[in-house]
Amino acid sequence: MDEGRAMKYGLIGEKLGHSFSKRIHESLFGYEYEIKEISPKNLKLFLLERDFQGINVTIPYKEVALSYCDELDISASKTGVLNTIVNHEGKLVGYNTDYYGLKFMLEVKEIDITEKTVLILGSGGTCKTAFTLCKDLGAKEINICSRKEEEGFISYEDIEQQNFDVLINTTPVGMYPDNEGLPVVETVLKEKVVIDVVFNPLRTKLIQKALQQSCVATGGLLMLVCQAAQAGALFVNEAKSASEILDCYEKLNNDLENIVFIGMPSSGKTSVAKELANALGKEFVDLDVLITETEGLSIPEIFEQFGEEYFRETERKVIEEVSKKQGLVIATGGGAILREENVNCLKQNGKLVLLERGFDFIKVDENRPLLKDKEQWKNLYEERKEKYEAASDIIVKNDGIIEETVQRILEELT
């Protein structure tokens, strides 16, 4: 966007290519909300001109923007960081609605900080917000882990020696497009409450590892929606109820979440996925088609010329890239879940639907490398059954009419 053009409401930051703020604000309040990238050299002029009514402020300006405000709300003065500025007839007032967003998320998720020992990862602006909130909520002890070698911070090398109840990640580690980042070793997560303020992907690697260990864990999307609702209320003096905020969050989450079909060859994944994509208005993606386009060969040709291991590695690379996208309905190949890394990638933005089809409904295909007769199919199914079930979030029978199967899936998704 042109830095010189005025705006009424919007978001400013240095790099904003994948912000959800426009969708959230316009959904909640109906006003036009703009995304404006501003370089550090032009930030001062933009704020001094005051040619806006209300803005949100994100990385890397949450702290530096404080000095341009005429007045600070208690939320900003207590934390030493802001993310919202409102222009009151030429007077700029700074607020920290992230504080309220994080507080709301903790309440909804029934996470109690009182008398808990909290470890916060990162020492930037969001860390200050989390620290202040945890202190206000009565945390027993709050420690900060940082790569800065300064007094008062814990090093990442010392985390395994720390005793804590709640872990809050305020770093960008694991955030799109570097989704594979993990800020701490997974062994420290056992029996902890894990909060990640990162909202893209929906489930970071940190959150996935925590869930695999039966931890209470949540990502940052709900916090994002609530802080936006609080900011919008300041812009137009129109507060939103908790139910309105939750409705907006659930709709956004459903829009962003991928629906991923897994299961045996001939279970109907492609046909059902296409029909579901039409019903939901989402884009349909067939991973096998992407693989053939990538290689310029059919799957039987890939198996014949290069072998199964080569195919699986190509499949892994395609899954890794597709899984970073959102709002898709994805049909996978039958063996996509054989590698744990594939399942983890698919789950970061996706809900996995296992399609099961009765043996009598199976149609073999001589062109499938691993499915040339029914006996072979049956043996392969027995080998994979446990992995399919372990990877799935929903299991649906597909023994009848496609439309009926899709309807059952829609009911499971609501």
**Catalytic positions, written as ranges:** 62
Cα–Cα nearest to 226, from 206, 249, 209, 210: 249
The DSSP result for 152-209, as a single string, is: TEEPGGGGGG---SEEEE-S-TT-TT-TT--SS-GGGGTT-EEEE---SSSS-HHHHH
Tokens standing for 230? 């609080």
| Cα 145-146-147 angle, rounded to 5 deg | 140
Q: How far is residue 102's CA from residue 371's CA, in Å, rounded to a whole number?
A: 50
Contact, 57 vs 23, CB < 8 A?
no
Tokens standing for 214? 């039966």
Contact, 224 vs 199, CB < 8 A?
yes
Query: CA 13, 17, 18, 20: dihedral to nearest 10 degrees?
Result: 60
The DSSP result for 60-109, as a single string, is: T-TTGGGGG-SEE-HHHHHHT--SEEEEETTEEEEE-HHHHHHHHHHHHT
193 DSSP β-pair partners? 166, 216
| Cα 127-231-57 angle, rounded to 5 deg | 55
Which 3 state secondary structure label does DSSP give 123? Answer: coil
